[in-house]
A and B are shown apart, each in its own frame.
Chain A
Amino acid sequence: DAMVIQNPRYQVTQFGKPVTLSCSQTLNHNVMYWYQQKSSQAPKLLFHYYDKDFNNEADTPDNFQSRRPNTSFCFLDIRSPGLGDAAMYLCATSRDGQKNEKLFFGSGTQLSVL
């Protein structure tokens, strides 16, 4: 029944070692989002796609990249993780990105950087 699936649930990487987080959806939604949530803070939008149209937030570090090879999948690449990148990463979707639509969230990937 899971509609937005994130793998893995927990990811451990080393300082500076590239890491990829994945997200898939069975909803056929047009918009996919990546949020970063640090402990006791608000989820912060990194970027989002409308179909293949990529939208980066102005304050998202260059270290963070994303790919959406098809409607169902979206990836978050962290090129050189630092200790400050340890966080929960949330993937979400919405059907058409209208402001009154709800977002569907995955369970998140908890990233640790050693």
Chain B
Amino acid sequence: GDSVTQMEGPVTLSEEAFLTINCTYTATGYPSLFWYVQYPGEGLQLLLKATKADDKGSNKGFEATYRKETTSFHLEKGSVQVSDSAVYFCALSDAGGTSYGKLTFGQGTILTVHP
């Protein structure tokens, strides 16, 4: 079945450091790929997405490129801020039949950014 693997956390960075969170996936079809973020005490919210190979999703300075050849969707940001501290989830959707857009998640990576 479908699966998503994220790099182990937690990740601790200083403000303005470069961020990479690795994500690889296994899917039988042609999935859409997502990064969701969960701030403390809140629900998950979409950060960015890409729906086909070589697409780049971007939002709030974060970027990720859909790499079909390496089955990867790594999250990057050039300069993190304290406000980026959160849990980041990589996910895929391989809807078909009665799947109705259901997401398969990675285990999440906790990011802490210090001033």
Contact = CB atoms under 8 A, between A and B. Distances in A.
B98 interface: yes
A99 B94 contact: yes
B100 A97 contact: yes
Q: Which of A31, A45, A53, A102 has the most CB of B within 10 A?
A: A102
Interface in B57-115: 89, 93-96, 98-108
Contact of A33 (B36, B43, B102): B102
A96 B107 CA distance: 26
Contacts, number: 74
Given A31-B100, A50-B100, A94-B101, A99 B43 contact: no
B107 A41 contact: yes
Contacts of A97: 95, 99-102
B101 A31 contact: yes
A40 B107 contact: yes
A55 to B, nearest CB: 5
Contacts of B12: none
Interface size class of chain B, counting residues whose CB lies under 8 Å from the partner chain: 20 to 34
Interface stretch (A66-74, A79-87, A105-113): A105-113
A4 interface: yes
A43 B43 contact: no
B41 A107 contact: yes
B43 A102 contact: no
B17 interface: no
Contact of A99 (B46, B99, B107): B99
Given A42-B4, A107-B41, 8 more contacts: A31-B101, A41-B107, A45-B104, A94-B101, A99-B51, A99-B96, A100-B32, A105-B45
The list of the 10 closest CB pairs from A to B, nearest first, reads A97-B100, A99-B95, A105-B43, A97-B101, A42-B105, A102-B46, A99-B93, A105-B44, A100-B51, A107-B43
